[in-house]
């Protein structure tokens, strides 16, 4: 358990750093799987009006994505917290609808990766619905291996490319 | 929903009919056969390339024959046009034959006879002396209507006879096509199999950084000549494929972040989304009759195969499993479908009857198998295999026997067949931030691997059927 706490702590400090430099990264289509950790319940999610504000808040303070193992669409146990936070945030902003985009690393064939990306998006949707999100607010989509965030051909890049990302509709 | 293509191609896929082709009668009475007829066995991997001389095409123009004639500016231009055409047709033929790997093109500097001095009958002994097994001699002659008669003869220097000779009508627009048609005729005469030079390749042209690639559909001749964009790059596009009728392409593009199958009508130059499905549609291919599409349709996050009649948009489900079923490809007779599925726990290739029954797995080797593509000859299925971190292109018989790897490396993917089933195109990606794909060809023998020339990164090649005009007259 101490191990997982330290992971969360790192996630938290990165999230704080990001708040200062968030805008540039948002415009670049980037994002962050931040985590509020145990401070989550004390955090005021507020109610945001514009999709853009919601998207920014989601990326910086909640985390808009979860990551996957190779050729897997299972939501990792370590990602469950973030899914719950995403749902809590979205349920505080009930006007928002979302598209979950599933993505893959480059180490697969194009069409298989499209299907795998959809599985990943659907896995996150199912987890969000199980955490209390209304399924009708969620659309799933896949980009397969077409939209990597990291370009190197090493596991450190592939593991951040294997992801499902929550996108607030109307934010871009 | 349709929209016009912003960048209209300069010429349609099938531009103009190749008119007035006829066979040339042999100039010499056939000599008694000096040896077995010249032929190339293309089923052998280590075939010795056939030494061949392709002479510059000669211009039979009245203008040229008068050395002291005062030519008008127009006449000068016409002469230059003719000279360029003669050279271009010759170079197209020589290029096709050379790239096939079956021919060794002799250097014009050692030719036994100069192209402008060669008589009606070549001096065969002199050509044999420089070890030319075959020679190609051609002419172009202006016609009254502003087009040209282009003729060629293929001579066997040992048998001392004409193997074939044809004449075509060429214009400035179709001169390269005439060259490819002549190369196909020579290939067919010497190998006994139809050629593949008078064809085009549709592919995805890629620009920009890896994390923000711009992808455009593009089309070019088989030899890489003159790629023309078909889409503007605003929407992400992947996996184009030809209709057997050549009038349409199908491909996948994203609409409101959902991947959808599209049709591109080549003659009308319009794009169209196929069907109004809630889920993502992808991995489309035409049926061999061109009247249907087969594709993957995702419902509830699960991917199955469907067949859609293009006229009515009526859908017929073909698989219904909790697995990923995708990348379908018909056998050329339309009776079977090869596809990939992870229903057995990993990505493998399956074959089923066209109605979705009699499903059987055909790949059992180590690693994962995907992207099955049925050969136009029906005897083999090409695939992409992933094994020990490498991506390989291979072929296997539809019954699952005879697996053979043609090429391997960091990343090879997406085979497509030449219309005669003898050559495979695929794309090869290189690793790293600056890496990117290019299109390569490899012979079915596993030999003669070559990179196609494209302006930048290029992926997802699809080889067209033979274009109009390729059937040799009988």
Minimum distance, in Å, between the CA of residue A155 and any CA atom of chain B: 12
pLDDT in tens, A109-155: 999 999 999 999 999 999 999 999 999 999 999 999 999 999 999 99
Q: Can you tell me whether residue A91 is helix, strand or coil?
A: helix
Structure tokens at B88: 């271009």
Task: Please check whether residue A114 touches B, CB under 8 A.
Answer: yes
Q: Which residues of chain A make contact with B340, given a CB cutoff of 8 A?
A: 111-112
Task: Please check whether residue B344 touches A, CB under 8 A.
Answer: no
Kindly report whether the global pTM for this prediction surpasses the value 0.95: no
User: CB of B197 within 8 A of CB of B223?
Assistant: yes
* Nearby residues of B195 by Cβ (< 8 Å), 6 or more positions away: B183, B184, B185, B186, B187, B188, B420, B466, B470
CATH superfamily for A2-168 is: OmpA-like domain (3.30.1330.60)
Task: Please check whether residue A74 touches B, CB under 8 A.
Answer: no
Task: Please check whether residue B299 touches A, CB under 8 A.
Answer: no
Q: Which residues of chain B make contact with A116, given a CB cutoff of 8 A?
A: 324
CATH class of B200-463: mainly beta
Please state which of the four CATH numbers 3.40.50.150, 1.10.10.10, 3.40.720.10, 3.40.50.10070 is assigned to the domain occupying B2-191.
3.40.50.10070
User: CB of B265 within 8 A of CB of B272?
Assistant: yes
CB contact under 8 A, B431 and A119: no
Interface test with B, best of A115, A139, A142, A171 (most B CBs within 10 A): A115
User: CB of B247 within 8 A of CB of B266?
Assistant: yes
Q: Which residues of chain A make contact with B347, given a CB cutoff of 8 A?
A: 109, 112
User: CB of B439 within 8 A of CB of B216?
Assistant: no
CB contact under 8 A, A153 and B370: no
Residue B28: predicted pLDDT: 63
CB contact under 8 A, A111 and B296: yes
What is the ipTM, given to two decimal places? Answer: 0.90
What are the domain boundaries of chain A?
A: 2-168
Q: What are phi and psi of B242, to 5 degrees?
A: -85, 145
According to DSSP, the residues that pair with B330 across neighbouring strands are B337
Task: Calculate mean pLDDT across residues A5-19.
Answer: 35
pLDDT band at A16 (very low <50, low <70, confident <90, very high): very low
CB contact under 8 A, A114 and B327: no
Q: Do B2-191 and B200-463 fold alike per CATH?
A: no
What are the domain boundaries of chain B?
A: 2-191, 200-463
Give the C-alpha separation, A26 to B48, whole Å. Answer: 60
Structure tokens at B141: 């002659």
Question: Per-residue b/e over B438-471, b at no fewer than 16 CB within 10 Å?
Answer: bbbbbbbbbebeeebebeebbbbbbbbbbbebbe
Give the C-alpha separation, B380 to B394, whole Å. Answer: 10
User: CB of A37 within 8 A of CB of A11?
Assistant: yes
pLDDT in tens, A61-116: 899 999 999 999 999 999 999 999 999 999 999 999 999 999 999 999 999 999 99
Q: Per-block average pLDDT, block size 10, for chain B (474 residues)?
A: 41 40 70 65 76 94 66 86 93 97 95 88 95 96 91 95 94 94 96 96 97 95 95 95 93 94 90 88 97 94 94 94 97 98 96 97 96 98 97 98 97 98 97 96 95 96 88 48
Q: How far is CA B37 from CA A31, B160, B161, B189, B223, in A?
A: 69, 10, 10, 11, 29
Task: Please check whether residue A152 touches B, CB under 8 A.
Answer: yes
Minimum distance, in Å, between the CA of residue A86 and any CA atom of chain B: 20
Task: Please check whether residue A148 touches B, CB under 8 A.
Answer: yes
Task: Please check whether residue B259 touches A, CB under 8 A.
Answer: yes
CB contact under 8 A, A114 and B326: yes
Residue A1: predicted pLDDT: 34
Task: Please check whether residue B435 touches A, CB under 8 A.
Answer: yes
Interface size between A and B, measured as CB pairs under 8 A: 103
Q: What are phi and psi of B209, to 5 degrees?
A: -70, 160
Give the C-alpha separation, B107 to A135, whole Å. Answer: 71
């Amino acid at each position: 358990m101490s191990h997982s706490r330290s992971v969360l702590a790192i996630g938290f400090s990165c999230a704080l750093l990001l708040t200062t430099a968030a805008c540039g990264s948002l415009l670049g289509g980037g994002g962050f799987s931040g985590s509020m950790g145990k401070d989550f319940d004390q955090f005021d999610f507020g109610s945001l009006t514009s999709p853009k504000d919601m998207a920014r808040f989601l990326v910086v303070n909640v985390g808009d994505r979860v990551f996957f193992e190779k050729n897997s669409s299972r939501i990792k146990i370590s990602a469950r917290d973030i899914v719950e936070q995403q749902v809590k945030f979205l349920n505080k902003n009930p006007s928002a609808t979302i598209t979950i985009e599933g993505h893959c690393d480059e180490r697969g064939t194009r069409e298989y990766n499209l299907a795998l990306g959809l599985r990943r998006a659907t896995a996150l949707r199912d987890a969000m619905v199980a955490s209390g999100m209304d399924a009708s607010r969620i659309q799933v989509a896949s980009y397969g291996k077409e939209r990597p965030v990291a370009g190197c051909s090493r596991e450190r890049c592939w593991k951040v490319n294997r992801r499902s990302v929550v996108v607030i509709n109307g934010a871009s | 929903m349709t929209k016009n293509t912003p960048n209209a191609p300069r010429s349609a896929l099938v531009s103009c009919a190749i008119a007035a082709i006829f066979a040339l009668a042999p100039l010499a009475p056939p000599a008694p056969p000096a040896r077995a007829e010249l032929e190339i066995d293309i089923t052998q991997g280590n075939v010795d390339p056939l030494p061949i001389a392709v002479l510059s095409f000669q211009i039979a123009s009245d203008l040229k024959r008068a050395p002291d004639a005062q030519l008008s500016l127009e006449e000068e231009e016409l002469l230059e046009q003719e000279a360029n055409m003669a050279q271009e047709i010759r170079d197209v033929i020589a290029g096709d034959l050379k790239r096939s790997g079956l021919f060794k093109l002799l250097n014009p500097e050692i030719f036994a006879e100069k192209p402008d001095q060669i008589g009606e009958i070549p001096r065969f002994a002199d050509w044999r002396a420089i070890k030319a097994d075959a020679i190609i001699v051609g002419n172009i002659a202006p016609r009254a209507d502003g087009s040209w008669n282009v003729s060629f003869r293929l001579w066997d220097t040992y048998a001392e006879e004409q193997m074939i000779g044809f004449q075509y009508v060429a214009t400035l627009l179709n001169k390269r096509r005439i060259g490819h048609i002549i190369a196909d005729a020579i290939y067919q005469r010497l190998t006994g199999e139809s050629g593949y030079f008078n064809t085009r390749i549709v592919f995805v042209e890629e620009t920009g950084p890896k994390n923000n690639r711009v992808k455009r559909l593009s089309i070019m001749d088989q030899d890489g000549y003159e790629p023309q964009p078909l889409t503007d790059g605003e929407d992400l596009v992947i996996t184009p494929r030809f209709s057997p009728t050549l009038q349409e392409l199908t491909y996948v593009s994203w609409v409101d972040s959902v991947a959808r199958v599209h049709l591109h009508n080549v003659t009308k130059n319009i794009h169209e989304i196929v069907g109004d499905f809630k889920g993502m549609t992808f991995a489309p291919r035409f049926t061999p009759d061109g009247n249907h599409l087969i594709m993957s349709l995702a419902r509830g996050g699960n991917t199955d195969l469907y067949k859609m009649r293009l006229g009515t948009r009526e859908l017929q489900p073909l698989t219904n499993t909790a697995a990923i079923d995708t990348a379908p490809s018909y056998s050329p007779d339309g009776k079977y479908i090869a596809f990939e599925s992870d229903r057995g726990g990993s990505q493998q290739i399956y074959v089923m009857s066209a109605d979705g029954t009699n499903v059987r797995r055909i790949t059992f080797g180590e690693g994962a198998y995907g992207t099955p593509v049925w050969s136009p000859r029906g005897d083999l299925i090409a695939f992409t295999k992933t094994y020990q971190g490498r991506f390989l292109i291979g072929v296997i018989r539809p019954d699952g026997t005879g697996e053979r790897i043609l090429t391997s490396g960091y990343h090879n993917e997406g085979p497509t067949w030449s219309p005669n089933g003898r050559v495979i195109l695929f794309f090869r990606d290189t690793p790293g931030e600056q890496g990117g794909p290019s299109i390569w060809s490899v012979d079915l023998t596993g030999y003669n691997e070559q990179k196609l020339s494209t302006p930048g990164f290029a992926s997802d090649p699809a080889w067209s059927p033979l274009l109009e005009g390729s059937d040799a007259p009988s």
